[in-house]
Amino acid sequence: MCARLLGWLLTPVCLGLIIITLLIWHPLIALSRPLNTKLHQWIIEVGNFLLLFHLHWVGGSIKTSWPAELPLQGPVVLIANHQSFFDIPICIWHLRRYHPRFVAKRSLGRGFPSVSYVLRTGGSALIDRGNPRQAVPAIKALGRLAVERGYGACIFPEGTRARDGDLKEFKPAGIKTLLEAMPDVPVVPVAISGAWQLMRYNLKPIPFGARVHLSVLPPLSRSEYSDEAIITESEARIRQELERLGALECG
């Protein structure tokens, strides 16, 4: 109750700063896009950092953990669970070494200043989940782009966000298509814990003191696992990590 009350008091400040950031950030992204790739990418990353920084107004914190054997650069396939709207900024900023592009639902390509523009123009695959004829070519195009430019291709295989934080069963079709488009590329499972709390009340309010943990897990070698085994193993590892992080929070 106390966390929600503080959230009601501080959420207007947090959301106000996020909206201002989005509105200022959008023209900067658009203007920099044809001028300089590195500058454009830097503006994207800094904007996402600011979106996350504003969460401090509601007591939010984000911790990260990394394995020693993580590749220093792309291309990589990033398989992550999905808990909130903030998952995309979290991945863009904290996994910025890979300049991640996303498999995301088509509706995210409109309606959100800056974020929609980045998804729509940056090479992400905006898919209609009910239309495989559209989704499969879009995911393959993302895979080819990621291999060509050394990006990370990030997919949330649950299909929708877990509003209560409980991992949903992975839907294999999208991952399998992405893996086929990116052969011999390392696969990195990513566990996002606690982000669901930010959206617990659909921003009405953002509860005070949400703790988010981004846990990047050891990569899976394509020579050791088949594509089917990678899907199963990624889900198992992410589930295990979420349970571990949940136990730490309870302790």
Average pLDDT, integer, range 193-219: 95
pLDDT at 210 over 60: yes
Q: What percent of the chain has pLDDT over 70?
A: 98
For residue range 45-97, list pLDDT tens digits in order. Answer: 999 999 999 999 999 999 999 998 899 898 999 999 999 999 999 999 999 99
Which has more confidence, 36 or 171? 171
Q: Is the pLDDT of residue 1 over 70?
A: no
In the chain, the amino acid numbered 94 is H
Could you tell me the pTM of the whole model? 0.94
Apex CA 149: angle with CA 148 and CA 150, to 5°? Answer: 100
Q: Count CA within 13 A, CB hemisphere, residue 135.
A: 18
Across the chain, mean pLDDT equals 94
The greatest distance separating any two alpha carbons of the chain, rounded to the nearest whole angstrom, comes to: 53
Q: Give 157's pLDDT tier (boundaries 50, 70, 90).
A: very high
pLDDT at res. 199? 94
Indicate the CATH number for domain 2-250: 3.40.1130
pLDDT bucket at 98, cuts 50 / 70 / 90: very high
Helices 172-181 and 227-250 cross at an angle (nearest 10°) of 120
pLDDT above 90 covers a percentage of the chain that reads 84
pLDDT for the residue numbered 15 = 97
DSSP class of 80: E
- Is residue 234 pLDDT above 70, yes or no? yes
- Is the confidence at residue 101, as pLDDT, over 80? yes
